[in-house]
Structure 1
Amino acid sequence: MPTSPDLRTQLQAAATRLRAGGEPAPDLAEYVRKVLLPGGWKELRATDKESSEPNLTIRIARQYRDAVVAAAADQVVTLTSVVNEGYKKFLAGEFKTRDREKVRGQERRPTGEQKVNLNVTPNAALLAQVRDSGVLPMHVAGDYLMHYFKVGPYAPGYTEPLPSGSDRNPTMPRALRDKIRDRAAELGHPVHQDMNEGFQKYLAGEFTPAVPEWPKNAEMAILKVRPNNDLFDQVKVAARSKSPELRPIQIGLAYVMEKYGIDPTDTAAE
């Protein structure tokens, strides 16, 4: 059964609150009450037919989409109202989008972040004005949503990920490889991003790796990673004096497993 976009969002927010075990805010309760009134669905259908606001699809990383939706439900605001606010501030010169050339350069490098669609129904007149400015409305909407809810590039302490480097294909027990992949998927970023972190800590003397010793007779598999080339080369030079028994990729793997809480001797499949 169709519902108006705004009401649908409010109902979803109410459902989220209820699923979390909390009580919905008074205004959310009112939206639920409207649905339950006699003839409520007929009123919703009529509202849908009268609505002329356009649908806008925003391409956004899944982890950012989920964080934005959760924050909107927690703060009891609609995504559409936030986007409309962002459009007004953009048109007034009070908000600027990120450098798209820089963003496109980052997107050309594999990031491990799955992109998904986030749909809103902004004011048609505002959307048209933004489009006429020469900036894509979805860019303004996506950036302002992340700015408003302090997500992704706008989160406190956020740092831009380093560029991906050459393919590195270390061989390791399949069970450990799969555990590493699963953990990276949970975190929402590629394994080599944590390898880069480990390389930086190793160079700063903040991480002392152990030589990884794989169990005998373990089924082996390849873990494809692309750590930053500059960091990889710096670690290669440093390891000659600090850890001559280790290759850079082993140092990176040692850090990743330590960070993910994976025992290198535990090759039991989960």
Structure 2
Amino acid sequence: MPTSPDLRNQLKAAASLLRAGGDPSPELAKAVRQVLLPGGWKELRDTDTASSEANLPIQLSEQYRTQVVDAAENELITVTSVVNEGFEKFLAGEFEPRPRVQGRRATGEKKVNLNVRPKAALLAKVRESGVLPMHVAGDYLMYRFEVGPYAPGYVEPLRSGADRAPSIPRAVRDRIRDKAAELGHVVHQDMDEGFQKYLAGQYTPVAPEWPKGVDMAPLKVRPNDDLFDQVKVAARTKSPGMRPIQIGLAYVMDKYGIDPADIAE
């Protein structure tokens, strides 16, 4: 059922108000905008009936989910419609998802769910193919919106290594975490980048020195084990006295523009 011009304008105004801070929950603004999308009324109606399609949780990294949702909103289409499109192309042999990478340790990124309700018939056919529908859906969404591994200039991250937790000033740790979140980066992947540049002679580290008496806290990271070991060997002659984790930290702090001298406490 189409909306009246007045109601549509009122809904748009409500979404703008909520998004601007009229309500502490940005999810309410998204809900209003979702109803305004083409087919939004149908999805709302279907969700409220007993015959609604089954929910399919798609596991993506948190930053990729945000990028997918924002891209769909910008194009005024629903994520569910794109998933249905992906299933159709997969079943027709027009789309092949990338090989599935097992486990969170592959990247170390936080995983979250993106919930959709695709057509039951398509979902069943994909499941019958032997490929996980969640994997087909997630990979097609990233392909369709050029996110993650399908983004221009994307470089496949190295496999995460063992847990490491160097003790650094709490204020520095918090700044590193905040900057990584702002950039959508994973800290140990930036460490891996620093290790590669160090081994190639493209980066000369300076060991960070912490102000005395500051509150210390662990920074949990998982740099690639092979790179870590290579840097450990190279540092014996290139940077005597420096440990690989210090080299990785120095690079991350340089990349993020963090100076330990600015930490007052």
TM bin (shorter chain): 0.7 to 0.9
State whether structure 2 residue 208 is matched by structure 1 residue 207: no
Q: Which residue of 1 aligns with 2:155?
A: 159
Q: Specify the SS of the correspondent of 1:265.
A: helix
State whether structure 2 residue 77 is matched by structure 1 residue 81: no
**TM-score scaled by length of structure 1:** 0.77
Compared with structure 1, are the counterparts of its residues 238 and 245 closer, same or farther at alpha carbon in structure 2 (3 Å cutoff)? same
Q: CA–CA distance in 2 between the matches of 1:172 and 1:259?
A: 17
C-alpha contact 2:207 2:242 (8 A) present in aligned 1: yes
Compared with structure 1, are the counterparts of its residues 227 and 49 closer, same or farther at alpha carbon in structure 2 (3 Å cutoff)? closer
Q: CA–CA distance in 2 between the matches of 1:48 and 1:169?
A: 48
C-alpha contact 1:211 1:245 (8 A) present in aligned 2: no
TM-aligned CA deviation for residue 124 of structure 1: 1.9
State whether structure 2 residue 110 is matched by structure 1 residue 114: yes
**TM-score scaled by length of structure 2:** 0.78
Pairing partner for 1:184 from 180, 183, 186? 180
Q: Which residue of 2 aligns with 1:126?
A: 122
Q: Which residue of 2 aligns with 1:95?
A: 95
C-alpha contact 2:191 2:252 (8 A) present in aligned 1: yes
The size of the alignment, in residue pairs, is 239
TM-aligned CA deviation for residue 16 of structure 1: 7.0
Q: CA–CA distance in 2 between the matches of 1:147 and 1:160?
A: 15
C-alpha contact 1:111 1:189 (8 A) present in aligned 2: no
Contiguous gaps of at least 5 residues in structure 1: 1-10, 21-27
Q: Specify the SS of the correspondent of 1:164.
A: coil
C-alpha contact 1:176 1:266 (8 A) present in aligned 2: no
Q: Specify the SS of the correspondent of 1:166.
A: coil
C-alpha contact 2:83 2:140 (8 A) present in aligned 1: yes
Q: CA–CA distance in 2 between the matches of 1:119 and 1:47?
A: 12
Q: CA–CA distance in 2 between the matches of 1:154 and 1:46?
A: 32
Identity %: 70
Contiguous gaps of at least 5 residues in structure 2: 1-10, 21-32
Pairing partner for 1:173 from 160, 166, 169? 169
Identify the range of structure 1 (117-126 vs 58-67) with the bigger mean alpha-carbon deviation. Answer: 117-126
C-alpha contact 1:112 1:189 (8 A) present in aligned 2: no
